[in-house]
Amino acid sequence: MANINLRALHEQKGNEFATRGAGLLRFDEDFLTATNRAINRINREADLATRISRVTSISGVFVDLDADYEDVLSDGITLYLLHLGRRPAKNAEPLVKQVEERFSFGISMIQTDKRNDQHDADSDDDTTDIAQLGTLGD
C-alpha cells in the first residue's frame, strides 16, 4: 500500500485554484484546513480500521490512505477549498454539488472495498461452516 504524497496534491490544487504570489501563504493554510476536513470526513464515513492522521505540514508528508484513493482525497480537498471561498482558475470551475457527489461516492467505494476485503479474509478460512455443509476436517 502506497500512501498519498501531500506535496503533489498541494501543487495540483495550486494550479487548479490559480494561486500565485502573496496569496500563497494563505492558500497553504486553506489547503491544510481543507485536507484535514476531508480526512475527518473520510474517517467518519468510511469506517476505516485505522484512522487517517490529520496533517500539520505539506512538505514531506504522506497521508495514510492507499494511493488508489487519491482521487477521493483530491475531491474532498477541492470541496472544502470551495467551502473556504477559494475560486478555481478560469475554465476549471467545478460545481460544488458535482464535487460533493463525487466525494461521497468515493467514500462509499472505500467502504465497499473495505467490506470486500473483510469478506475475502473471512472466506479464506476453510474451517467456516457454510450452509450446514460441514467444516474442513469433519
> How do the domains of the chain map onto residue ranges?
4-108
Binned at pLDDT 50, 70 and 90, residue 127 comes out as low
As a whole number, the mean pLDDT across the chain is 84
Q: Report whether 50 contacts 3 (CB < 8 A).
A: no
d(CA 81, CA 76): 9
Mean pLDDT of 20-33: 84
Q: What pTM value is reported for the model?
A: 0.79
User: Please, which residues have CB within 8 angstroms of residue 107's CB and are 6 or more apart in sequence?
Assistant: 41, 42, 45, 46, 72
Binned at pLDDT 50, 70 and 90, residue 122 comes out as low
Mean pLDDT of 24-41: 94
User: Please, which residues have CB within 8 angstroms of residue 62's CB and are 6 or more apart in sequence?
Assistant: 3, 4, 5, 6
pLDDT at position 70: 96
What are the pLDDT digits (tens) for 38-95? 999 999 999 888 899 999 999 888 999 999 999 999 999 999 999 998 888 776 666 7
d(CA 21, CA 103): 30
